[in-house]
Amino acid sequence: METLMLLTYAALCIVVFKVFRIPLNKWTVPTAVLGGIALIGAVIFGMNYNFPYTDVGNQVFRTVPIVSQVRGRVQSVPVKPNQMLHKGDVLFTLDPTPFQAKVDDLQAQGIWLIISSTHGAGDIPDNLVPFYDALQEKQADLSAVRFGAIGIGSREYDTFCGAIDKLEAALKACGAKQIGETLKINVLEHEIPEDPAEIWLGSWKNLL
């Protein structure tokens, strides 16, 4: 901006000197230079003085918070800044060691009650993923385990209660025996999932 103003003033001076045939001497040239400095300085000062400003300003950023449902130490972040993402891409991984320790501490016997909601396209919630992965990888002998299953989801989706179906299949693959039928709660019909779960649990306990 300042450069453009200087060039414009210089061109104007040249035109004035030529049109009015003003001689170039020790008086006219310094006068034109000092006049230009004063004029341009006044314009810049006026622009800065009248420029709108505020003591309180905010920067607005559109962000989407990504928070894991479980606590842990981030082990890796495979995505890069400004990278285009697609559904199903892994954003970060957590250190599985503490979760694996909890799975290892489980006694492979007794009665288990498995309760799970469904995320995304039939995905298992983050807090149950280590448990599910351990069932698939270790293929532990769970023949002494009996279990009941409760799934929570919405029938708006084709993958209604898909997570509990996966967990149920993984447990059976390890030899666990299911007690009763799986209760699948549709949140569109039950705003409080605990209500049908309590009724189901009362009858389920009679099967033990």
Count CA atoms within 13 Å of residue 137 on its CB side. 9
Owner of token pair 């002998």: 141
Question: CA quadruple 184, 189, 192, 195: dihedral positive or negative?
Answer: negative
Q: How far apart are CA 117 and CA 176, in angstroms?
A: 21
Instruction: Give the CA angle between residues 113, 117, 118 to the nearest 5°.
Output: 135
Question: Given this model, what pLDDT does residue 106 score?
Answer: 63
The closest of 181, 190, 121 to 152, measured between CA atoms, is 190
- What CATH class is the domain 90-205? alpha beta
* Entry pTM: 0.52
150: tokens are 């409760």
- At 39, the amino acid letter reads L
Question: Given this model, what pLDDT does residue 164 score?
Answer: 92
Domain edges within the chain: 2-49, 90-205
Question: Given this model, what pLDDT does residue 132 score?
Answer: 86
* Local confidence pLDDT in tens for the 208 residues of the chain: 678 777 787 888 888 878 878 888 888 888 888 888 888 788 877 877 777 766 776 667 677 777 776 677 888 888 888 888 887 788 888 887 776 666 666 667 789 999 999 877 778 888 888 888 888 877 778 888 999 999 998 888 888 899 999 999 999 998 999 999 999 999 888 888 899 999 999 889 888 7
Burial of residue 36, with CB atoms counted within 10 A of its CB: 0-12 exposed, 13-18 middle, 19 or more buried:
middle
81: tokens are 């800044």
| Mean confidence (pLDDT) of the chain | 82
124: tokens are 């298992």
DSSP 3-state assignment of 95?
coil
Q: How far apart are CA 135 and CA 130, in angstroms?
A: 9
CA distances from 131 to 93, 115, 205 (A): 15, 12, 24
Q: Summarize pLDDT for 63-103 with one digit per residue, the tens.
A: 777 777 667 788 888 888 888 888 778 888 888 777 666 66
Question: Given this model, what pLDDT does residue 186 score?
Answer: 92
Please report the beta strands in 52-92, taking only residues with DSSP state E, as ranges in sequence order.
74-76
Question: Residue 123 contacts by C-beta under 8 Å, 6 or more apart in sequence?
Answer: 162, 163
